[in-house]
Chains A and B, each alone.
Chain A
Amino acid sequence: MATLKLTGVRKAYGAVEVLHGIDLDIRSGEFVVFVGPSGCGKSTLLRVIAGLEDITGGTLEIDGEVVNAMSPKRRGIAMVFQSYALYPHMSVYDNMAFGLTLEKAGKAEIDRRVREAARLLQIEPYLDRLPKQLSGGQRQRVAIGRAITRDPRVFLFDEPLSNLDAALRVQTRIEIARLHEGMEGTTMIYVTHDQVEAMTLADRIVVLNKGHVEQVGSPMELYARPDNLFVAQFIGSPAMNVLPATIEATGETTRVKPQGGALVSVPVSTPTAAIRQAVHLGVRPEDLTLAPAGGDGLFRGVVTLVEKLGEVTLVYLDTGGEKPLTAKLAGDVPLERGTTIALSARPEALHLFGSDGRAIRQRMRLAA
């Protein structure tokens, strides 16, 4: 229903700039998730879009119209806050009707829209209650309902699940996903620091770091082809192993020697000049497998810690490098601390990053 276009959006508080020129295109009906560590500016960016913060520089367009100076209401946005932010003295019904009342909508119209939203969110039985008589999950549903009744062009969510307990979080996450499917054409922007929420909900993820956009892409794109070390280590849990390495041979495939590991071929082409250059070799814990007994594998080391989670076993391996190597092995793997094991990985699962942290692209994946 609405497209958003951010061009060089900057936000500064006095001399401190927190957003350094954000460029972003959001398509109509898209579910976009802003993710990043705390202090990366994701919430500020959302508040800038909402109109709760002034834009210091750049332009924000909704449906092709510059809305920099427009009030939140005229932008046609609705927002769901982390702390629910319900009006404590109003019943659930009045909370949801408040925006419409201010718009001077007709009584019948208000009633129809409130009840419709209540039915959608299954909060009809609570319409007469006060917020304090509801549980956290119910309150968050009311907050979402309040946003729905206003029939916004753009839906904004500011960490809506972080105040809920684990079980409720999963359930509400699924409900939000269903809601997005049910509200065809409504653009949704969602801020979270939880990468599981980002991966499961997003059509596209925007990874932010220190006020910059690090990468924009679908969840699988970010997972499989991170643009840089930051995205590589931010997406995926446990984080990708990154080891300092040296290029030993260049050409169609590059041979690198990681610290504490064996010489390995990565299917990436590098120019001859790159020889002896320091790079970073990345490999995800889940891409590592136990090498057959007696085999050499890619990495050899002593097991320092084993964590069994049931469906996976996390193994920490001391390879003589700075940080232990993490491996995520499927199932319950009978390993003991102190044993020496070897781990290997498919060449396609290896990521190479230049000394500046930018990815050196793998041709095979590019073709795919």
Chain B
Amino acid sequence: MPAVLRQTGFWALVAFIVLFSVFPFYYAILTSLKSGTALFRVDYLPTSVSFANYAGVLSNGVFPLNVLNSVIVASVVVAISLFLAVTAAYALSRVNFAGRSLLLLTILAVSMFPQIAVLAGLFEIVRAAGAYNSLLSLIFAYMIFTLPFTVWVLTTFMRDLPVEIEEAAIVDGASPFTIVTRVFLPLMWPALVTTGLLAFIAAWNEFLFALTFVSNNDTRTVPVAIALLSGASEQEVPWGTIMAASVIVTVPLIALVLIFQRKIISGLTAGGVKG
């Protein structure tokens, strides 16, 4: 195949992938800026710009509260997951104890169960603990899928840190906690940022648990709140408001990813090749 054709084919494929992944979001933005009956016309370029939908969704009493709930839940989940994962990773990568690999496999196995399979059981636990209808129930439930991969990624990463550095710290008189906080953590920023961000996104987007464990409008998180947005009447689906809300909750994620972009790239490769 001639080089020109191969080049063209390659870029056509790239263009298709970009279009495929970006178009839905682009169309959401487009729709969120429309109003009235324009919503039901198919346009690929903005015709008129109106921020009425944004004003509407933000002035709707509970939506800002829902965003705040999501921020709280996702942040707390990330903080607790990373703390537990870092301390667990130290033990799993550096302390020799019987059943270590079995434990690692068990942790991984936890993420094997589909959410729907554990939903009923979890619901019982949440209710028994008196956490029903509170953000605590979500924080607890989200750990189930954030911890397995944070523990695994950080264990792999920590295992690749040179043993001599730890031994030098031991000789220098550092306790295990000092080693983790003052020697290992600074070296693990890329991995922490990557896993933290993935955990944040997972918690931010979660729908099923959020729908089941919380029934109160004030304590809902964003994905459920958006799904339950209703129009003036039963028959009207408020597409404009839904799209505006979607854009509002997607922008923080995009911003986070862009900010930490360089760290993520080094983090994703750091486990494989020692830098």
Contact = CB atoms under 8 A, between A and B. Distances in A.
A107 interface: no
Interface string B166-178: 0111111110001
A86 B162 CA distance: 10
B14 interface: no
A150 B172 contact: yes
Contact of B171 (A73, A86, A87, A89): A73
A1 interface: no
B24 interface: no
Interface of B: 162, 164-165, 167-174, 178, 183, 186-187
A257 B253 CA distance: 87
| Most chain B beta-carbon contacts within 10 A, residue among A52, A77, A98, A103 | A98
Contact of A85 (B165, B178, B186): B165
Specify the main secondary structure of chain A where it touches its partner.
Answer: loop
21 contacts: A71-B170, A72-B170, A72-B171, A72-B173, A73-B170, A73-B172, A73-B173, A78-B171, A79-B171, A81-B164, A83-B164, A87-B165, A87-B168, A89-B187, A99-B171, A99-B172, A99-B173, A102-B172, A102-B174, A102-B178, A146-B172
Contacts of A83: 162, 164
Contacts of A81: 164, 167-168
Nearest to A50: B171
B183 A77 contact: no
Contacts of B187: 88-89
Nearest to B183: A87
A83 B167 CA distance: 12
A11 B50 CA distance: 78
B173 A89 contact: no
A73 B175 CA distance: 10
Interface in A224-275: none
A174 to B, nearest CB: 25
B273 to A, nearest CB: 15
A73 B167 CA distance: 11
Interface string A198-237: 0000000000000000000000000000000000000000
Given A71-B173, A87-B183, 5 more contacts: A82-B164, A86-B168, A88-B187, A99-B173, A150-B172
